Amino acid sequence: MGNDNENSGTEGFDKDNSLNSRYKKGVLIINSYIKQKDSIVPFKVKFRIYRLSGIKPELIYYGVTDDYGKARISSLDFGYYRLIEVVDSKRIKPKYIPWNEFEINNNNLCIHVNIENRNRNANVKYEERKHETIKEEKDSHEYQNLKNNIKGSIIVKSMFKSKTNEPLSGTEFSIFRVTNMKIQLVDSKTTNGNGIAHFTNLYSGKYLIVEKINKNIFNKPVYLNGQVVSLDKDKKDVGVLVINSLK
């Protein structure tokens, strides 16, 4: 995408390149710079924002920071997002502070992300390999801890809002494990004739439930008991009722 087609990073989701401009919710503030030995230099850069609401991240916004390396993106709907800086990865290594994935909710309406960029060299590459090794070891330990956790289940029931509240069969649901602002797809199932999808053998932790619907026909589903649920030794099994209605 050329600069002529991109909006300034100071423009919000009210513009044409936003796919979620109907509701003003949260704000993301970006500060990008290049860190040198004794100074910090503002860095004008392209970036993209993805919404993490399904199996595949959805690109919802692209833009450019201003000459001071800053951008403000408003009208973010509640949910999970990923920020990606578009740079030449062979020359520049971005570091997101505190991280590049975040959640907009009632308690997090304004998110600040600093992007510290460094020129790549032999030392940086060595540090990358070192950090990757540490991350692999950490992930391995985390997996072992998960194996020792008590397994539970999530029962999701999808219904159509009407006088009889009919169950919706054939509706696809996906559940994602949420850890440290990151989400990972665990499983996807389709509801049975009673509108129920049963997810079993789930480790303790926090899970995001996502219903796949035709947005042109249905309103945004209402998740009774919440769209994000937690499983632990005291609450091994959780039920969530999802209400759907026509537009």
Encoded tokens for 236: 């091994």
CATH for 173? 2.60.40.10
Same domain, yes or no: 237 and 194: yes
pLDDT of residue 149: 56
Tell whether 168 and 202 lie within a shared domain: yes
Full domain range(s) for residue 233 = 152-244
Whole-number Å distance between alpha carbons of 196 and 155: 7
Q: Same domain, yes or no, for 54 and 101?
A: yes
Number of residues that make up the chain: 247
Mean pLDDT over 224-229 rounds to: 86
Q: 168 with 73, same domain?
A: no
State the DSSP H helix or E strand holding residue 133, giving kind and residue range, or none if neither: helix 122-147
Is the same domain home to 156 and 205? yes
pLDDT band for position 121 (cuts 50, 70, 90): low
Residues 69 and 101 in one domain: yes
R_g of the chain computed on alpha carbons: 21
* 75 and 158 housed in the same domain: no
Q: What is the pTM of this model?
A: 0.42
The pLDDT tens digits for 136-154 are 444 444 444 444 456 789 9
Of 12-16, 81-85, 87-91, where does mean pLDDT reach its minimum? Answer: 12-16
Q: Are residues 180 and 97 in the same domain?
A: no
* CA geometry: angle 100, 103, 106, nearest 5 deg: 145
Whether residue 85 sits in one domain with residue 28: yes
CA distances to 108, 117, 210, 227 from 112, in Å: 10, 16, 26, 25
Band the pLDDT of 60: cuts 50, 70, 90.
Answer: confident
Total number of domains constituting the chain: 3
Whether 96 and 23 map to the same domain: the answer is: yes
pLDDT in tens, 86-101: 988 888 889 999 999 9
